């Protein structure tokens, strides 16, 4: 491929956040180069494993609701535009002790934003989904309009849009450095140096290493997910996507899709790692399978079947669990989006719009004040 050396915008990292940004900018007429270490969608970052949950009444904070509503609209648009399966409306069932702050925020977020949310007692949960066993002092929150996203399909769909709109995509090419020049930004790779008016850095678990001068408060974690052989009770559309807040730990999962088996992961925990040097095989630590089995034994004993598949994946956590989306403090032409803290995928579609607008106009229509980098300056 013959590449130019000057672009309006270069997007560094073409995963969940970078690929939609490249697609948005290409669709809006910008000259775009998108660069990735691998060939997205791929299995080395944070977006693989087939599915991601999307919830609207947001337990991490009601400030996210407007963004997630826009994201949901854009995912449906993407499905229509691409012809690929992007969203499955499985509903999401949240469960936890009646004093759970996460469930309380979920209920308050729903009330605040007039979102439909059904509140259920423990008996109602177990009656409706006989596969679930919960303690009497647990409650449930059911959102029927939400569900799951097919993550690799979503990135592929945005890649197709970017290419159809003449974006250039350079794969299998790690960016080695990003330097602010006099009038443009230089992006250095072993395949050449490229210049752009603006650079958007969406490098996931590698953001801290790539922008090492900023000493970003980020920690990548190794996380695991397993698929377990399960009876029909756990098959979509009968069984919803779900999460369970146990107080000191939180698990989440997805119904079996066409016999795939129940998918289960744990939100907290995992091993802090260097993204270039960590154990990628599931089962290396006994807790990989052990934690998941412990949950199944207690809450979904009928789904505690044979392990069908297990994978590892990466979270990149910020200290407060909120994202970091900002201009580089010393270089206004560099925009960064990272620290998605294990709950970013559902926002990928709207992040394309946010980051695309920041690159084109310097500002965005969306409220991103929660995500400023300066909140850590103390
Ligand atoms: C197991 C698991 C389950 C999850 N479940 C959910 C969920 O249910 N719902 C939800 O909303 N979120 C969920 N998440 C979180 C969500 O997937 C992440 O927040 C999101 O994928 C992060 O997107 P990203 O663009 O930052 O990273 P990525 O999608 O990994 O993209 C980063 C890209 O940058 C590239 N890159 C890195 N360094 C360089 C470099 N130097 N040069 C060029 N390219 C580079 C990488 O190759 C990669 O393609 C989950 C995550 C995991 C791991």
Q: Ligand 1: distance of its center to the CA of 16 in Å?
A: 6
Distance from residue 42's CA to the centre of ligand 1 (Å): 10
Provide the mean pLDDT of the chain: 97
For residue 354, pLDDT beyond 70: yes
Q: Please tell me if the CB atom of residue 45 comes closer than 6 angstroms to any atom of ligand 1.
A: yes
- Which residue shows structure tokens 């399978």? 289
Tell me if 202 sits within 8 A of 325, measured CB to CB.
no
pLDDT of 2 = 65
What is the structure's pLDDT at 201? Answer: 98
Whether 343 is in the pocket of ligand 1, judged by its Cβ within 6 Å, is: yes
Q: What is the pLDDT of residues 223-248, one digit of tens each?
A: 999 999 999 999 999 999 999 999 99
Question: Would you list the DSSP string of 309-344?
Answer: EEEEEEEEE-TTS--EEEE-SS-TTEEEEE--TT--
Is the pLDDT reported for residue 378 higher than 90? no
Q: What's CA 274's distance to the chain center, in Å?
A: 19
Alpha helices in the chain (DSSP H): 18-27, 65-82, 101-112, 122-128, 151-164, 207-210, 286-299, 348-361
Its sign, for the CA torsion 202, 207, 210, 212, is positive
Q: What is the mean pLDDT of residues 212-231?
A: 98
Would the CB of 288 count as within 6 Å of ligand 1? Answer: no
SS3 assignment for 227-269:
EECCCHHHECCCCCEEEEECCCCEEEEECECCCCCEEEEECCC
At 203 the pLDDT is 98
Ligand 1: centre distance to CA 207 (Å): 11
The pLDDT, as a whole number, for residue 208 is 98
Ligand 1 atom at minimum distance from 52 CA: 8
Give distance in angstroms: CA of 11 to centre of ligand 1. Answer: 15
Q: Whose CA is nearest to atom 15 of ligand 1?
A: 342
Q: Tell whether the model's pLDDT for residue 197 goes beyond 80.
A: yes
How many angstroms does the Cα of residue 99 sit away from the middle of ligand 1?
32
Q: Which of 373, 365, 298 is nearest to 332 (CA)?
A: 373
How many angstroms does the Cα of residue 284 sit away from the middle of ligand 1?
A: 22
Ligand 1 contact, 223 CB (< 6 A): yes
Q: Tokens for 310?
A: 């297990």
18 CA → ligand 1 middle, Å? 10
Residue-level pLDDT at 5: 75
- pLDDT single digits (tens) 250-302: 999 999 999 999 999 999 999 999 999 999 999 999 999 999 999 999 999 99
Q: Compute the C-alpha angle 235/238/240, nearest 5°.
A: 85
**Which of 154, 171, 179, 345 best tests ligand 1's pocket when mutated (most atoms within 8 Å of CB)?**
345
CB distance 220 to ligand 1 below 6 Å: no
Q: pTM for this structure?
A: 0.98
- Residue that is written with structure tokens 């290419």 in the block: 163
User: 339 C-alpha vs ligand 1 centroid, how far in Å?
Assistant: 9
Convert the pLDDT of each residue in 17-38 to its tens digit: 999 999 999 999 999 999 999 9
The band of 1, judged by pLDDT with boundaries at 50, 70 and 90, is low
- The answer to whether residue 4 scores a pLDDT higher than 80 is no
Average pLDDT, stretch 50-72? Answer: 98
Average pLDDT (55-63) is: 98
The DSSP element (H or E) to which 118 belongs, if any, is: strand 118-121
152-173 pLDDT, tens digit per residue, is 999 999 999 999 999 999 999 9
Pocket probe for ligand 1: among 47, 223, 371, the residue whose CB has the most ligand atoms within 8 Å is: 47
pLDDT at res. 242: 98
Cβ of 346 closer than 6 Å to ligand 1, yes or no, is yes
């Amino acid at each position: 491929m013959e590449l130019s050396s000057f672009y309006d915008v270069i997007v560094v990292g073409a995963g969940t956040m970078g690929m939609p940004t490249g697609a948005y900018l290409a669709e809006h007429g910008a000259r775009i180069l998108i660069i990735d270490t691998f060939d997205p969608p791929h299995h080395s970052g944070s977006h693989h494993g087939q599915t991601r949950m999307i919830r609207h009444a947001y337990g991490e904070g009601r400030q996210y609701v407007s963004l997630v509503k826009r994201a949901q609209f854009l995912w449906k648009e993407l499905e229509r535009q691409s012809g690929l399966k992007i969203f499955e409306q499985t509903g999401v069932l949240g469960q936890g002790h009646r004093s759970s702050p996460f469930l309380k925020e979920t209920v308050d977020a729903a009330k605040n934003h007039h979102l439909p949310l059904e509140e259920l007692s423990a008996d109602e949960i177990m009656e409706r989904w006989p596969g679930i066993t919960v303690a009497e002092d647990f409650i449930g929150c059911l959102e029927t309009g939400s569900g799951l996203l097919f993550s690799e399909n979503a990135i592929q769909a945005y890649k197709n849009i970017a290419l159809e709109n003449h974006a250039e995509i350079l794969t299998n090419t790690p960016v080695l450095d990003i330097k602010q020049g006099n009038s443009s930004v230089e992006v250095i790779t072993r395949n050449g140096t490229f210049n752009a008016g603006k650079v958007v850095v969406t490098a996931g678990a590698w953001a801290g290493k790539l922008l090492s001068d900023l000493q970003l408060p980020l920690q990548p974690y190794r996380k695991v997910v397993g698929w377990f052989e399960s009876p029909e009770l756990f098959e979509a559309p009968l069984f919803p996507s779900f999460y369970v807040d146990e107080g000191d730990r939180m698990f989440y999962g997805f119904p079996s899709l066409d016999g795939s088996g129940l998918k289960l992961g744990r939100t907290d925990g995992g091993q802090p790692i260097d993204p270039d040097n960590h154990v990628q095989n599931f089962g290396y630590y006994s807790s990989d399978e052990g934690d998941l089995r412990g949950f199944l034994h207690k809450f979904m004993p009928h789904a505690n079947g044979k392990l069908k598949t297990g994978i590892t994946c990466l979270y990149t956590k910020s200290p407060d669990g909120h994202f970091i989306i900002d201009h580089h403090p010393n270089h206004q032409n560099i925009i960064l989006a990272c620290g998605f803290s294990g709950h970013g995928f559902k926002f990928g579609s709207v992040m394309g719009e946010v980051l695309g607008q920041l690159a084109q106009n310097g500002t965005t229509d969306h409220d991103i004040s929660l995500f400023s980098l300066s909140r850590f300056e103390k």
